[in-house]
Copies of this chain bind each other. A is one copy, B any other.
Amino acid sequence: MQHNPTLPLRAGDVLARGVCRHLLSHNFVSVTELVPTRGLRVDVMALGPKGEIWIIECKSSREDFTSDQKWQGYLEWCDRYFWGVDEAFPTDLLPDETGLIIADGYDAEIIRMPDEVRLAGARRKAMVQKFARHAALRAHAARDPAATQ
């Protein structure tokens, strides 16, 4: 779903906005709400200049984090995995081996860069293509709303 501009952003979407802006300053482009495989939907997937794939899950509160039963399922779909949280988030909850981005609605900062666990070539190829199709559909919907309904 495209965000309906008449509705206020949810807390996680605000964080995602700051995260995506910051990623762009690292030359990583991004999409939101991509489905890498059935049953998983990532908050932010980013694509780097050399084809790197990062996933960033945005958590607005302790409860938002502790209720997430699926996050470990995301690890196999990216080279690096991050949490995107605000300054008030209790970051000691987060596993040390995951990345950490502190965000607000306007910008963000990468606090902890996780080790890279590189995708196999075939999966990377499939994910870049999935990313491309997802992004193109969003862009198409934006330039011609009648096309994709």
A24 to B32, CA, bound (A): 21
Q: Which residues of B contact A20 (CB under 8 A)?
A: 140, 144, 147
A24 to B144, CA, bound (A): 12
Q: Name the prevailing secondary structure of the A interface residues.
A: helix
- Closest B-chain residue to A137, C-beta based? B29
Q: What total of chain A residues lie within 8 Å of the partner, measured CB to CB?
A: 31
Q: Which residues of B contact A32 (CB under 8 A)?
A: 143
Report the minimum CB–CB distance from A43 to chain B (whole Å): 13
Identify the A interface with B (CB < 8 A).
2-3, 17, 20-21, 24, 29-32, 47, 51, 125, 128-129, 131-133, 135-144, 146-148
